[in-house]
Chains A and B, each alone.
Chain A
Amino acid sequence: MHEQYMERFFSGDPLAASRLMSIVERGAEEGEAVLDAIFPKVGRAYRIGVTGLTGAGKSSLINKLSCSYRREVERVGVVAVDPTSPFSGGALLGDRIRMSDARGDAGIFIRSVASRGSETGLSACANELADVLDAFGSDVIFLETIGVGQLEYKVRFSVHTTLVVLVPEAGDDIQSLKSGLMEIGDVFIVNKADRAHGDRYADDLRSMLELRRPAQGWRPLVVPTVAVKGGGIPELVDAIGRHKSFLERNGGIEQKRIEALRNRIAMVAEEKLKDLFWNDRRIAQALDALFPEVLNGAKSPYQAARELVAALSIGKQGG
């Protein structure tokens, strides 16, 4: 069914883009067919990941940033992820509401998506949705993660610049920040900086980052903002711009592209392998046979796993 949309998509019809994203969300062969078809057009957009704790103001920042970028570029895309309820499978996708300035502008395409059990802080298909927006001609794309701890850092894999959003209360003690967060940020935002200790927090953060060895020669920047009021947004745009030129000077853009594509192939292949593995009748049979032995202590889980994998290759050779 995607064919009916392709031509309209390439001629800039937002409804076609939206419908194609739904097909991608549903996955399966149809979804991959869309991704195949758009791939030649993917790769033009500058991708910005936005991560940080819940309530730090990620959506409000994207709201102001996307409006700011829109003054210079034709199209901005936003993929905003909210958590799926583990109980009902439903979700309240609340990011859009906080993008009140952006949503009146047809040049800003906001797509909300539920995490649907993905552990990465991104939805299983957030990167793919960004691809659709990329091929649709977005110049800048924001990927917003849900703030869920360590695993969200995978956001970095498919973006050019990673913004980490913090608030002064997030633990007045900078030292207590998760080290993972400190390592992935290209730009650190101290949002709600007009609160008590906002300045001191930003200073502490700066001095702490100075102690670290800059990764690949980039020393992360710290920008205080008051997103709801638009405070610090020009400075933030400037900081992102500086990181972008840094990447451009050092071949970082190409390097990121290579990494992202490698990662994507690996991830997709792993997924497929997993599907293949668990859908294989031989594996099911072997597991049925092995499991009682693990239960009664005759075999360790490791032994069983080795034999399970072996069953696949033996079967192959035999077949």
Chain B
Amino acid sequence: MDEDRMKQLKKRKRAYLKDLERCSTLNLDFTTVSSEPVEVLYAPDDVEDLDYMEELGMPGDYPFTRGVHPNMYRGKLWTMRMFSGMGSPRDTNERYHFLLKSGQTGLSVAFDLPTLYGRDSDDRFAEGEVGKCGVAVDSMKDMEILFGGIDLSAITTSMTINGPAAIVLAMYLANGVNSGVALRDLAGTTQNDILKEYIAQKSFIFPPEPSMRLITDVMAFCSENVPKWNTISISGYHIREAGSTAVQELAFTLADGFAYVEAGIEAGQDVDDFAPRLSFFFNSHLDFFEEICKFRAARRIWARRMRETYGAKNQRSWLLRFHTQTAGCSLTAQQPENNIVRTAFQALAGVLGGTQSLHTNSMDETLALPSEKAVRIALRTQQIIAHETGVVNTIDPLAGSYFIEARTREMEKAAERYFEEIDKRGGVIRAIEDGFFHREIGRAAYEYQKAVEARRKIVVGVNAFEQGSEEMDIPILEIDTQVEIDQVAALRRLREERDNGAVAEKLRALEAAAAGNENLMPHLLDCSQAYATLGEITGVLKGVFGEYREPAYF
């Protein structure tokens, strides 16, 4: 647009906005779900100086605002990855066989809470939790059962595990080797994102510094020996679920990513050796456009930082590839069927934002663990988006929208302000210890709750359009308590049958290594081979590293 036309436009827009003041406006809150103000209208003047090649580029071109692949969904649809796993290792194994027979090539493991905290099933904290939110893994024995009869060279395995990620990965790798698959042929992902545990999800075990060492050990070990392993899935999902705004999710997640890159570099690794194996995991919340802008901004920020600040040369190091899960926290217990609709919009935002894989939540998740029917509807939602809506036909279809481009930029700037603030506080770990993230997220969560209660924000079925008492006809899934009894019995049996002398010896070697500087992964593999339990290994490391207790700020 030439200068004169732009001048005319600005003049007309001013007049238009003036006229608007005379129009009546509904008494509603016109901010985003993150309480960010939005203009009533966006026009070319809002992105006047947009440099297409600099800021957007072609899909697959730096800075990847429009997507990480040149052909995006025409080349490959996103992976419809439904997170699952519950009950005993044997039940889960049966389910895996079923899924593989139905054509799925990737398995996703959800662990139960005791496992996520590095505790055995007979730990005093485990009571009532074994097999509840996922599968219990106490030792390599359980890995043998979990993946029994499955060719691990033919599948990829995604494991949602953080605090004890290095240990559980070692058990998986050791079992893989025993089943005849070479380390270099084992493929998959560990979440392994400990920073967001301190910030939001809270399943931490050790203090930040030794935890970062475990992560850099995994990074170094895998780039050398298990090149097909995605070592960290840097996650904003849980930060958002804890109540953050979209910008906070964006900024804190990327800041965590930078911290891992810096830790790897500091540990003497070449950024291009490990960075291609980092991936991301975001939340897709209700505010449709805000989410799409968030995904676009994330790709651009990461690419620029990786190339310009960390000097990565491999293009794959610049790519922000991400998994998306729809926002569990946006679902309501009231009129749960409405959650199908919420999830559909969120999933659509993830797709329009260019996600590489997607999990859609089930409508009944605020009531209990999801039932099979609810999971099926959630998966069908993705299939409808992929095959019926036509949104996959063209890449990044919202690019060039004045609104989308202006907001993408604003979110990028807001994230940069957070990066500066975090730097000023001495980095992510310092900011964690100071309670910075807790305070920021806690405030956002409470403000949102107050807005809902004051009915400045409407939640359908909760503070408006209520229905009184509703009869639920969603079947609720329950987990048999027998799982816990059996798992504990199996664990006790293992402790009697294994060579306890060998276990003690391997654990002592691990302890000595932990006190020094060598890479712990080979030792963790040795311990796994000797059938040391997760709780025993974690216990030894706690002895050396100490335990993390979170500072309380709220």
Contact = CB atoms under 8 A, between A and B. Distances in A.
A295 interface: no
Nearest to A94: B552
A94 B546 contact: no
A98 B426 contact: no
Contacts of B554: 92, 94
Interface in A89-138: 92, 94, 97-98, 100-101
A98 B551 contact: yes
B433 A98 contact: no
A98 B552 CA distance: 6
A196 B546 contact: no
A196 B425 CA distance: 11
B549 interface: yes
Interface in A54-91: 55, 60
Given A92-B554, A228-B433, A100 B426 contact: no
A97 B552 contact: yes
Contacts of A94: 552-554
A55 B436 CA distance: 11
Contacts of B434: 55
Contacts of B549: 100-101, 228
A311 to B, nearest CB: 49
Interface in B511-554: 546, 549, 551-554
A195 interface: yes
Interface in B116-130: none
Contact of B551 (A92, A101, A196, A228): A228
B184 to A, nearest CB: 39
A195 B427 CA distance: 12
Interface size range of chain B in the complex? 10 to 19
B552 A229 contact: no
B473 to A, nearest CB: 41
Contacts of A97: 552
A98 B554 CA distance: 12
B433 A229 contact: no
Given A228-B433, A229-B546, A196 B426 contact: yes
Max chain A C-beta neighbours (<10 A), residue from B434, B546, B551, B553: B551
A100 B434 CA distance: 17
B552 A195 contact: no
Interface string A195-207: 1100000000000
A94 B438 CA distance: 14
Nearest to A59: B552
Contact of B426 (A55, A195, A228): A195
Contacts of A101: 549
A195 B426 CA distance: 9
A94 B554 CA distance: 8
A196 B430 CA distance: 12
A168 to B, nearest CB: 11
Nearest to A92: B554
Nearest to B425: A169
A195 B434 CA distance: 12
Contacts of B552: 94, 97-98
Contacts of B433: 228
Max chain A C-beta neighbours (<10 A), residue from B426, B552, B554: B552
A228 B209 CA distance: 13
A170 to B, nearest CB: 13
Max chain A C-beta neighbours (<10 A), residue from B426, B434, B549: B549
Nearest to A100: B549
A140 to B, nearest CB: 22
Interface in A176-235: 195-196, 228-229
Contacts of B551: 60, 98, 228
A264 B433 CA distance: 40
A258 B146 CA distance: 72
A100 B548 CA distance: 10
Nearest to B209: A229
Contacts of A98: 551-552
Interface in B429-456: 433-434
A11 B106 CA distance: 64
A161 B433 CA distance: 28
Nearest to A60: B551
Nearest to A96: B552
Nearest to B553: A94
Interface string B392-427: 000000000000000000000000000000000010
B554 to A, nearest CB: 7
Given A98-B551, A228-B433, A228-B551, 7 more contacts: A55-B434, A94-B552, A94-B554, A97-B552, A195-B426, A196-B426, A229-B546
Closest 6 CB pairs of A and B: A97-B552, A100-B549, A94-B552, A98-B552, A98-B551, A228-B433
Interface of B: 207, 426, 433-434, 546, 549, 551-554
Interface of A: 55, 60, 92, 94, 97-98, 100-101, 195-196, 228-229
18 contacts: A55-B434, A60-B551, A92-B554, A94-B552, A94-B553, A94-B554, A97-B552, A98-B551, A98-B552, A100-B549, A101-B549, A195-B426, A196-B426, A228-B433, A228-B549, A228-B551, A229-B207, A229-B546
